[in-house]
Amino acid sequence: MRRRVPLGIAAGLAVAVLAAGCAAAPAAPPPWEPWQTTRGQDSPLAGRIWEVGARRAIDPERLVTALAGARFVLLGEKHDNPDHHRLQAWVLRGLIARGRRPAVGFEMFETTDAPAIARYLAAAPADAAGLGDAVDWRRSGWPPWELYRPIADAAVAAGLPIVATNVPRGVARALGRQGVAAVDPGLAARLQLDRPLPPEREAAMAAEIREAHCGQIPERMVGGMVAAQRARNAQMARSLVDGATADGAVLITGAGHARSDRGVPVELAALAPGSRTQSVAFLEVRDDRPDPAAYAAGFGVSTLPFDFVWFTPRVDDQDPCEQFRMPPVRS
Ligand code: HEM
């Protein structure tokens, strides 16, 4: 039986509903507030999303709408920045809210982790809390699982497959130390490591490797480390293509792998021609770079190699080369 609402209350409700309809709806707080990282919060770029091709700032909803039209969405982070992971989770939830049901690939899971992930999710299909332990995350060297967990939480809550995408660490290490000859020829062929890269791309990747290691690696190792980087890009693309649902796949990875001039997008274009890939980089603001275009120099190019860049505060102000642990080795 319907309960009758007393007239006075009904009138009050009507007034409240009308008032709510007339007043502007309270704006939702931006998805990044409050930031967890502190350095550079006051930068005019912090929180801004830059659409590289159109050279304009866009709002978060527009970004998600643009990404919802792509088969492959790459979300490129700086691994230790918690805000990058919060925003990745926010983007994934936004895609899900728009009806997308993509697979979610993680660079941090190696292909050999797939059975452990499957076993864990079979036992706890809607609980990502223990997924890190299931793959011995603590010993992996990645930042704490708790930073990545919101992304996995969003995925499992929507029943999305989680895909292990990276080459096993031992393979990458063998490539890095001894080059392509050190790995199984079948694997090298599958990842196309047996084919030379275009010389400009090889040179650019070699320069990136030298710079990433603060000029401290012996020259004789550079070729192998480029091969390791290529293997990672190629395996991540292969795993995304193989693991994609009808709605494609999202990849959680480092920004370097998400770059569209030589990262996973290039490999995806070769493996899945005609599929639309959109790449987002989460970049930390620098006080000496108030202009988005200035960040291209950090990637050794004149145009940012991503479709979108989402600027955030920084974790710290340490010079990565001061922390660099690899002892200089003589070539
Ligand atoms: C300050 C940050 C970094 C440190 C301390 C670091 C350190 C190292 C060390 C110690 C190795 C040798 C591993 C071994 O053979 O046992 C290595 C290998 C490698 N690094 Fe880095 N690295 C850093 C950043 C980067 C970046 C940004 C890239 C991407 C361009 C990169 C790409 C590679 C690759 C491809 C290898 C060879 C394969 C492997 O062992 O994983 N590194 N790095």
Q: What is the DSSP string of 292-319?
A: GGGGGGGGTSSS-SSSEEEEE-BS----
State the pLDDT confidence band at 320, using cuts at 50, 70 and 90: confident
State the pLDDT confidence band at 30, using cuts at 50, 70 and 90: confident
Burial 171-202 (b: 16+ CB within 10 A, else e): bbebbbeebbeebeeebbeebbbeeebeeeeb
d(CA 99, CA 277): 18
d(CA 232, CA 239): 10
Q: Separation of 171 CA from ligand 1 center, angstroms?
A: 13
Q: Identify residue 291 by its one-letter amino acid code.
A: D
- CB of 326 within 6 A of ligand 1: the answer is yes
- CB of 172 within 6 A of ligand 1: the answer is yes
List phi, psi (to 5°) of 168: -60, 145
pLDDT at 328 over 80: no
- Candidates 81, 84, 51; CA nearest to 67 is 51
- CB of 300 within 6 A of ligand 1: the answer is no
- CB of 318 within 6 A of ligand 1: the answer is no
State the pLDDT confidence band at 331, using cuts at 50, 70 and 90: very low
Q: Which residue has the tokens 């001894």?
A: 178
Per-residue pLDDT reduced to its tens digit, 207-219: 999 999 999 999 9
d(CA 329, CA 331): 6
Q: Give the contacts of 24 (CB within 8 A, at least 6 positions apart).
A: none
- CB of 319 within 6 A of ligand 1: the answer is no
DSSP output for 115-155: HHHHHHHHH-TT--TTHHHHTTGGGT-SSPHHHHHHHHHHH
d(CA 305, CA 222): 23
| Residue pair 296/289 in contact by the 8 Å Cβ criterion | no
pTM: 0.90
State the closest ligand 1 atom to the C-alpha of 172, by its place in the atom list counted from 1.
38
- CB of 177 within 6 A of ligand 1: the answer is yes
Per-residue pLDDT reduced to its tens digit, 39-68: 999 999 999 999 999 999 999 999 999 999
pLDDT at 325 over 80: no
Q: Separation of 244 CA from ligand 1 center, angstroms?
A: 29
d(CA 265, CA 209): 19
pLDDT at 306 over 90: yes
pLDDT at 188 over 70: yes
Q: Give the contacts of 176 (CB within 8 A, at least 6 positions apart).
A: 221, 224, 225, 227, 228
Q: 214: how many CB neighbours lie within 10 A of its CB?
A: 15
Over the Cα atoms of the chain, what is R_g?
A: 22
Using a pLDDT cut of 70, give the percent of the chain over it. Answer: 90
H helix runs in the chain, sequence order: 7-22, 60-68, 82-97, 114-123, 131-134, 145-157, 169-178, 185-190, 199-212, 219-243, 255-258, 264-271, 320-323
Name the residue of 107, 220, 225 whose CB sits within 8 Å of the most ligand 1 atoms, as the mutation to test its pocket: 225
